[in-house]
């Protein structure tokens, strides 16, 4: 039995020295030291030995097992080192070669215009505030003086999640949330995505962007609103821009107005761009309705304010002469690379 153990050690050593693959090394380990290996088969015969021989053979068997296991680990490490050296040799990188230059992206045209609008308002002392896109009916409508039976709800084409939760149809709910939490003076803009159940065409989309503005303080008048908007429009479109205010109606402002800019193409004479009207509508505005102030816990007898809202896509379309807003969302690099 002793000679058989020595023979196993010798054969294992010889075969391991010739093995050149991890799979072959593992097969040799199983062959000699596995549960059904040759070493185990010999150990099962130890019952035939005398009490004096068992410890001697047992110690030798353990030494042989340890030798085989150590030899297997050493061989695996040697083989792994050789494989790594071969891989490094085959996968050399010439760091002196010029690299492939990947094309760099740039801002989306809507982001370019939005950043410019933000910069203009921040320069006038406004703070940028954001709010949730999934909104309570109360903030989207009721707090803005649009009760459940108000006809203005029909024109919003709202996406209802439940009876009391909607996808916001405007960013005005952010103004309400700010007025609830912050005491005047307030001067904010709230840009963001809004959602309406509109059919997709050149001028409509179920998802678009709005930028709402709000100022609340003592002794705020329509003259403050007019001066703010004229400053904004001249910064956005140029000092030669001509602005016109037209009476309008919004449930959350009183008085209300639509703001037009004289057509940049025909200078008021009428052309295809302005549909022969000479003017282009860009935003709506007005003095914050006293009921809206009261709903937000602000005393309308002490404070007044104005609000404004404009569509980002509409401004970008006029800035770049784009006649189909769908182009902004199709991610066609042939279109986007022009900006």
57: Cα separation from own chain's centroid: 70
| Close Cβ partners of 247 (under 8 Å, ≥ 6 residues apart) | 255, 256, 257
Query: Residues 159-204: pLDDT tens digits?
Result: 999 989 999 999 999 999 999 999 999 999 999 999 998 888 877 8
Per-residue pLDDT of 298-323, as tens digits, reads: 999 999 999 999 999 988 888 887 88
**136 vs 163, 166, 188, 213, 278, CA distance in Å?**
9, 6, 21, 20, 40
Domain chopping of the chain, boundaries = 2-90, 109-336
The token pair at 184 is 């005047």
Lowest mean pLDDT among 164-168, 224-228, 269-273: 269-273
Q: Are 293 and 286 a contacting pair, CB within 8 Å?
A: no
Instruction: Give the span between the Cα atoms of 38 and 72, in whole angstroms.
Output: 16
Per residue in 93-129, pLDDT tens?
778 888 888 878 889 999 999 999 999 999 999 999 9
Q: Is the model's pLDDT at 32 over the cut of 80? A: no
Burial class (CB in 10 A: 0-12, 13-18, 19+), 113: buried
Query: Residue range 256-268: average pLDDT?
Result: 84
CATH (one of 2.60.40.1120, 3.30.930.10, 3.40.190.10, 3.90.1150.10) for 109-336? 3.30.930.10
pTM of the predicted model, to two decimals?
0.66
Q: What is the 3-state secondary structure (H, E, C) of 55-100?
A: HHHHHHHHHHHHHHHHHHHHHHHHHHHHHHHHHHHHCCCCCCCCCC
Instruction: State the pLDDT at residue 26.
Output: 77
């Amino acid at each position: 039995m002793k000679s058989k153990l020595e023979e196993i050690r010798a054969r294992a050593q010889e075969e391991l020295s010739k093995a050149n693959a991890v799979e072959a090394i593992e097969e040799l380990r199983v062959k000699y030291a596995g549960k059904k290996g040759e070493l185990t088969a010999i150990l099962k015969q130890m019952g035939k030995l005398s009490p004096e021989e068992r410890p001697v053979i047992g110690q030798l068997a353990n030494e042989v097992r340890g030798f085989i296991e150590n030899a297997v680990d050493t061989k695996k490490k040697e083989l792994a080192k050789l494989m790594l050296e071969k891989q490094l040799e085959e996968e050399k990188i010439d760091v002196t070669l010029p690299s492939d230059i990947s094309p760099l992206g740039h801002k989306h045209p809507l982001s370019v215009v939005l950043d410019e609008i933000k910069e203009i308002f921040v320069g006038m002392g406004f703070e940028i505030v954001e709010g949730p896109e999934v909104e309570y009916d109360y903030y989207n409508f009721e707090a803005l003086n649009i009760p459940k039976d108000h006809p203005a709800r029909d024109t919003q084409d709202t996406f209802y999640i439940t009876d009391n939760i909607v996808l916001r149809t405007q960013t005005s709910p952010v103004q309400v949330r700010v007025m609830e939490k912050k005491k005047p003076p307030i001067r904010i803009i709230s840009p963001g995505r809004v959602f309406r159940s509109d059919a997709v065409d050149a001028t409509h989309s179920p998802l678009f962007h709005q930028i709402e503005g709000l100022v609340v303080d003592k002794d705020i008048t329509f003259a403050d609103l007019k001066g703010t908007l004229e400053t904004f429009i001249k910064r956005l479109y140029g000092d030669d821009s001509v602005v016109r205010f037209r009476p309008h109606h919004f449930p959350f402002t009183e008085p209300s107005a639509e703001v037009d800019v004289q057509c940049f193409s025909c200078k008021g004479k009428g052309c295809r761009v302005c549909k022969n009207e000479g003017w282009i509508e860009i935003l709506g505005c007005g003095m914050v309705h006293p009921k809206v102030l009261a709903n937000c816990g602000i005393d309308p007898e002490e404070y007044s304010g104005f609000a404004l809202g404009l569509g980002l896509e509409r401004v970008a379309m006029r800035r770049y002469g784009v006649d189909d807003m769908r182009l902004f969302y199709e991610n066609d690099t042939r279109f986007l690379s022009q900006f």
